[in-house]
Amino acid sequence: SSVSSGQDTLWYFIQACGTVADISAAHRGHVANNVTISWYNKSPQGLVGLRNLGNTCFMNSILQCLSNTPELRDYCLRNVHRTDLNNNCRTNAALMEEFAKLTQSLWTSVTNEAISPSDFRSQIQRYAPKFVGCNQQDAQEFLRFLLDGLHNEVNRVTVRPKVSVEDFDHLSDDEKGKRMWNMYLEREDSKVVDLFVGQLKSSVTCTVCGFRSTVFDPFWDLSIPVKSSGEVTLKDCLRLFTKEDVLDGEERPTCNRCKARRKCTKRFSIQKFPQILVLHLKRFSDSNIRASKLSTYVNFPLKELDLREFASESSERAVYNLYAVSNHSGNALGGHYTAYCRNPALGEWYSYNDTRVSPVSSSQVRSSNAYVLFYELAPYPHSKYQTCRL
């Protein structure tokens, strides 16, 4: 087929060039590793728009962000998902198949003509009927449903063990976190989990006796609060998310040591950082009076977002680079979704507005429309083992 042929050519090109720097040079018409790739100048790899099927800009925005997620893209282009399906003897994987086909089309098309995601939409509507119809939907909610659906279909665990309740209170926080993470992987283990899932630590401390209890939960993204006025930084939002809260009144939990409801403090920290960190800026609120949207400008870094201050003491290094943003313009009653993505082959930023794809400068990526941020874990600097992942 034309898709598989284009896919083979793409991978011959990638293997010949090896790094983003080489590919960028090749894109300018140079020769990489003695292989002439002048054909690449005519091939808009990953720079193809998606048709709007009736208010589906929320879907198109997220699909473009995921298409520019390097390892997820490669997983689809190499058809590794089919290997996982065969190894696990899974037969019902229509959503993963359509997502992979769409990703392949975006990266192997030899024209700049926009692609219709109608087959993919049919499958996501079967998996999540709430997306049936032409109503505007929330992009972050769509992302959650999509990743959950993809994970379920390529989960390496075919028979989930029964959940056993174990007493981990005698263990250190570090060991307890590891045990709970391993328990999670015994039931949920896929390429999607490898990329997107981290672990959040919640610590609750009794103000009367000082007893501290910890809980570790997996997360696919972090929904972080945004202040309603002025300009704030992304770290300001994360500090608000991880600040110590007081649980009093009706919120008082039962202290395991006091055996009574006590005033407590609660704090979040990140125990395990994911390879792909998705940060959802909580711009929308739905009060009893009316829905509203915050248009606060959040200043977020494009490179070297260092999150060590939000990590648990024993957590690993966490420096991230931005590679995609899902934007929402408009208000809580209606609007339009677009995306800014850094093309992993060319290393340049592009705007994805349904069918229209156009280059943008890195200075344009930050705006008050930013809604969902996609960060990738940065490679260790100055490492002899460092490679450029495509």
**Catalytic positions, written as ranges:** 57, 336
Cα distance between residue 14 and residue 295, in whole Å: 40
Q: Mapping DSSP to helix (H, G, I), strand (E, B) and coil, where does residue 319 land?
A: strand
Cα distance between residue 91 and residue 262, in whole Å: 51
Question: CA Rg, the chain, in Å?
Answer: 22
Cα distance between residue 95 and residue 204, in whole Å: 40
Cα distance between residue 88 and residue 9, in whole Å: 29
What is the maximum alpha-carbon separation in the chain?
A: 74
CB atoms < 10 A from the CB of 199, how many?
A: 20
Nearest to 232 by CA among 283, 326, 300, 325: 300
Show Cβ contacts of residue 367 under 8 Å, excluding neighbours closer than 6 positions: 297, 327
The residue whose two tokens read 């975006």 is: 106
Nearest to 351 by CA among 367, 339, 362, 342: 339
The H or E element containing residue 165 is: none
Tokens (6 digits) for 390: 């495509």
